[in-house]
Structure 1
């Protein structure tokens, strides 16, 4: 239907304008300068006035423009995290710890998953984070590709790397994987086991490689036989498959699994094949996930502090952001042996 000339034009809807600083000033009965000082966290405002301005902001729904504020003071108060798109227990726990530490410091977090840590994907992730206006980046990718020479981290942003062997000009933070694996192996040897078998994590994992190498070197230093390695993919099902192989060998009396989830699958395989734990076979895991204390039997394992890794990474990045200081020595977070019921001396022949 056409509109006749006498009909008034239909008004077009305009986007709703959010409350402005001027609106807050009128509501609080103060000047616009005072509202600006409060919004930007300045200290030259008395407490009573600040409370009145903040109350006015809440009443009318005003939110400070973080982008504009960042242009003024050079800080966006936002941190990017480049993380593998393939989740693992360790990465998930570390990310939780990073997020908690970031929020505690009054920053926000922006995730940028990468499918494969190639030069193109890493560079693309950096570019996208630059567009999101972050102050710095934490890289949480455990695959070996990050350590290959063709992966060059772009410059221009403060960076902290977690779980890497590469010697970047950035802070590197990680758990002392080698010491944890050596502790697990020495514990089983100290109980009287002649050797320790190993279910390793996937070959592309730097953590898995360090645990495997440390297990091997610990056996060699003790003069013990080094059995062939069985390789899993961190999952309980891969631990179960490896466990069926180990259970069929009566000479196997001690196994170090590279994580608790594979240890869980191993325990099931041993139970199903009539190899009691720890009566015939002792088992040690790695991680100390919350459920490990409730496995049957409760799992002896290596505790790594994902929370400490996250805190150290965020602290190192904020120091880099504030001071521009270059990387110091890598931060190595210690591990701890947690003794439960899955380990015991070997059966008497």
Structure 2
């Protein structure tokens, strides 16, 4: 910085103001400083800045089960929002590796001198470790359910599931089954609860759901293997807990000679980019991950700034997207 100041003929404080986009700098001075920076190939040293200000402008992100569409899309939304606010993102992922626990991942992020922590935690097992770190670092958890003592945010999983089931009820369906996600996933639990509550309020029967693992293969098995089709027997509609399982489910149904939606309607959740190219195009529930990322980052930065209102559970609405995979039930013979 002092070299830039000498070359530009200004003080090092002026160079600092240019770097930090201070408004009270004459355009000619700013141009001279920027030209000197370019000539000297000057870039800001983030480590030196962190030492001087005690701020790294770096947000740590821990992702549990990163291979799934929801967590990776949430990360993209968060990264985009962070860049817009002048923050960098450090990411650590945890899957099912017994040698790299959530505790180890959190410790790795803390060693990087992060200002705040965002945890994309779809499984209940990750939350216990997070509770042990909130006193050391401002933390936000992206999770379907509110949790006392944690700052949390989410797309409304429960409300989205209710909207999906109410859409099917509105079409005239009375036998609506559920292809649920893994039992330890908080999003899956919220979607299943929305399905149950919507049926209960409508006075419709509830059958225990078939259960998948989010993959298209598990949706296919639900339609074709001896165990799971029994959970779908008698259905006129199926609410699948994500679009990938819905894709496999439709594949398996078609192989069995069951037409979608003529014989059985199928609705998914997520609105993956290719959902409108499924055959038939998939009715589903859209999650706005860009809005979730921006809102989550804003809440975390408010917590960093000491805002006493930066608490509780923040919710982004889900949106029903109606396409061709749902229709009224077939008429009784």
TM-score for both structures, normalised by structure 1: 0.87
Is 2:175–2:234's contact at 8 Å kept on the other side of the alignment? Answer: no
1:165 aligned residue (120, 124, 145): 145
Provide Cα deviations, 1:61-105, integer angstroms capped at 9, x if missing partner.
111222222222232111110112542100010000000000011
Are 1:227 and 2:207 an aligned pair? yes
Is 2:66–2:72's contact at 8 Å kept on the other side of the alignment? Answer: no
Written as runs of structure 1 = structure 2, the 5 A alignment for 1:1-349 is: 21-115=1-95, 121-148=101-128, 152-165=132-145, 167-245=147-225, 251-325=234-308, 327-349=310-332
Is 2:65–2:71's contact at 8 Å kept on the other side of the alignment? Answer: no
Is 1:165–1:206's contact at 8 Å kept on the other side of the alignment? Answer: yes
Distance 1:167 1:258, change over 3 A: same
Unaligned runs of 5+ in 1: 1-20
Is 2:131–2:150's contact at 8 Å kept on the other side of the alignment? Answer: no
Q: What is the alpha-carbon distance in structure 2 between the residues aligned to residue 33 and residue 270 of structure 1? A: 69
Provide Cα deviations, 1:154-209, integer angstroms capped at 9, x if missing partner.
42211111015362433210111111111111211221222101100011100001
Provide Cα deviations, 1:243-263, integer angstroms capped at 9, x if missing partner.
225767662211000001100
Q: What is the alpha-carbon distance in structure 2 between the residues aligned to residue 77 and residue 55 of structure 1? A: 26
Specify the structure having the higher radius of gyration (Cα). 1
Q: What is the alpha-carbon distance in structure 1 between the residues aligned to residue 77 and residue 233 of structure 2? A: 42
TM-score for both structures, normalised by structure 2: 0.91
Q: State the superposition RMSD in angstroms.
A: 2.3
Name whichever of 247-256 and 171-180 sits farther off.
Answer: 247-256
Is 2:145–2:190's contact at 8 Å kept on the other side of the alignment? Answer: no
Is 1:146–1:164's contact at 8 Å kept on the other side of the alignment? Answer: no
**Corresponding residue of 1:17:** none
Distance 1:203 1:42, change over 3 A: same
Q: What's the CA shift for 1:57?
A: 0.8
Is 1:147–1:164's contact at 8 Å kept on the other side of the alignment? Answer: no
Equivalences, count: 328
Distance 1:202 1:344, change over 3 A: same
Is 2:179–2:241's contact at 8 Å kept on the other side of the alignment? Answer: yes
Q: What is the alpha-carbon distance in structure 1 between the residues aligned to residue 286 and residue 211 of structure 2? A: 21
Is 2:121–2:127's contact at 8 Å kept on the other side of the alignment? Answer: no
Name whichever of 277-286 and 189-198 sits farther off.
Answer: 189-198
